[in-house]
Structure 1
Amino acid sequence: MSQQDIVDRLIAGQGTLFSEGMGLDLTRDSAKDYFGWLVGCTLLASRISSGLAEQAGRALNDQGFLDPDRLAGAEYWDVVRCLNENGYARYDESTAGYIQETAKMALDRYDGDIRGMLDPDPDTVLDRLQQAKGVGKVGANIYAREAQIVWDVFYPRLDGPAAKEAEALGLTTDHGALASMAGSRERFTRLAAALTRAALDGPAPSVEDAT
């Protein structure tokens, strides 16, 4: 089958954004969702499965802890308990401290709206994202992968495990060509998520049939 078939099947079968798995919608262009995704990237950057990270992110969201004001003002042990009950038994205390510090940083430096990190230079934005404790380079790149759905500075972006998986599946790694095959900015972002999921969990059966 063609590269176009593989792209279409990836998006259809594995194109759920990791932010969506946490109950966030970056296309709403809201300060809460952008902050929540930064917390989510702290979870995804830790040494735990992406599935458990999504589960923990959704649980934090359900408790209102993906809002910087709520998270900064929450009782530390309530945040620890939420993480502990959702797959973070080994990292619950340190991660709770990290994300509460991130909430305070976002409030102190950006009045709770991390769109204040935006700059025409993508590397500058990536550096600013790393002001969040526990995010690091890995988490900043994860943030950029999905923020590109609305943040022009990152689009089109395909790197890390997603780029390696594209090559493994016989796809071009030319961003412009992949964006053209995806057909829209949203679908390209979903393609990046799908390739990441394929890299982590293996390609979906429909994708394997197309390769």
Structure 2
Amino acid sequence: MAQKDVADAVIEAQGRLFNVEMGADIARDQPAQWFHWLVGAILMSSRIGHANAVRAAAALKREKLHTVEGILGSERSRRIKVLNENGYARYDTQGADYIHAAADLAKERYDGDLRRLREEAADPQAIADALTGFKGIGKVGAEIFCREAQMVWTELHPQAGGPALDAAAELGLPKDAKRLAGLAGSPERMARLVAALTRAALDGPAEEVRRVAG
């Protein structure tokens, strides 16, 4: 089976973006969406299942704790409670403190708008480096943020790494971001392909993907 067919199958079967799943929807390119995605990247950076991290990030939005002002105006105990009750019990205290620190830095450094981080960065590496200035965001967290941000912040394109590349190799796809981008065809589809490959690595390939990949 041609690699393009496999890539298309992976995108179709497992290509739901993590930011969309948690309710951030960064394609809208608004400050609140970008900060919520940063919160999601912080939560997904911990040693906890990605499904639990996404569930916790979605719960924060339901409780209006996904924006800079919402978090800064909240009680620590409330943030801990929401995380604890939504799949993030092991890291609820840490997570509550990390997202508060992120909100504080976002307001102080970028006036609550992470698009300013993009504007100030000279290149993709500078974006990743700036992201690691947020507590709870290391190299992995920056990769998580950037792999979906590339659909809007196209200077990040192509972006792929970690378990996604391992899954690509197992499915007979190139273990290379540029070649994967060629199969995807656009920054938006590349973000979906990397999300899909990450899901395939963490949850296993979907049945349709296995069939097409042979």
Question: After TM superposition, where is structure 1 displaced by more than 6 Å over at least 4 residues in a row?
Answer: none
Corresponding residue for residue 60 of structure 1: 60
Read off the aligned partner of 2:134 and give its amino acid letter: A
Read off the aligned partner of 1:50 and give its amino acid letter: H
Following superposition, the deviation at residue 73 of structure 1 comes to: 1.1
1:159 to 153, 158, 161: 161
Conserved in 2, the CA contact under 8 Å of 1:22 and 1:57? yes
Mean alpha-carbon deviation: is it higher for 171-180 or for 87-96?
171-180
1:125-161 per-position Cα deviation (integer Å, ceiling 9, x unaligned): 1111011111111101100000001002211111111
Corresponding residue for residue 89 of structure 1: 89
Following superposition, the deviation at residue 199 of structure 1 comes to: 0.6
Conserved in 1, the CA contact under 8 Å of 2:60 and 2:82? yes
Using the size of structure 2 for normalisation, the TM-score is: 0.95
RMSD across aligned positions (CA): 1.1
Corresponding residue for residue 212 of structure 2: 210
Partner-residue secondary structure (3-state), 1:90: helix
Q: Give, in whole Å, the separation in 1 of the partners of 2:93 and 2:84.
A: 8
Using the size of structure 1 for normalisation, the TM-score is: 0.96
Conserved in 2, the CA contact under 8 Å of 1:31 and 1:112? yes
Corresponding residue for residue 195 of structure 1: 197
1:172 to 168, 171, 174: 174
Q: Give, in whole Å, the separation in 1 of the partners of 2:168 and 2:189.
A: 15
Percent identity of the aligned residues?
A: 47
Counterparts of 1:2-17 in structure 2 under 5 Å?
A: 2-17=2-17
Following superposition, the deviation at residue 66 of structure 1 comes to: 1.0
For structure 2, list consecutive stretches of 5 or more residues without a partner in the other structure: none
Conserved in 2, the CA contact under 8 Å of 1:42 and 1:134? yes
Q: Give, in whole Å, the separation in 1 of the partners of 2:144 and 2:178.
A: 20
1:84-139 per-position Cα deviation (integer Å, ceiling 9, x unaligned): 00011121111101111110110011100011212232111111101111111110
Read off the aligned partner of 1:145 and give its amino acid letter: R
Q: Give, in whole Å, the separation in 2 of the partners of 1:30 and 1:6.
A: 33
Partner-residue secondary structure (3-state), 2:7: helix
Corresponding residue for residue 126 of structure 1: 128
Partner-residue secondary structure (3-state), 2:90: coil
For structure 1, list consecutive stretches of 5 or more residues without a partner in the other structure: none
Corresponding residue for residue 99 of structure 1: 99
Corresponding residue for residue 49 of structure 1: 49
Corresponding residue for residue 116 of structure 1: 116
Conserved in 1, the CA contact under 8 Å of 2:42 and 2:141? yes
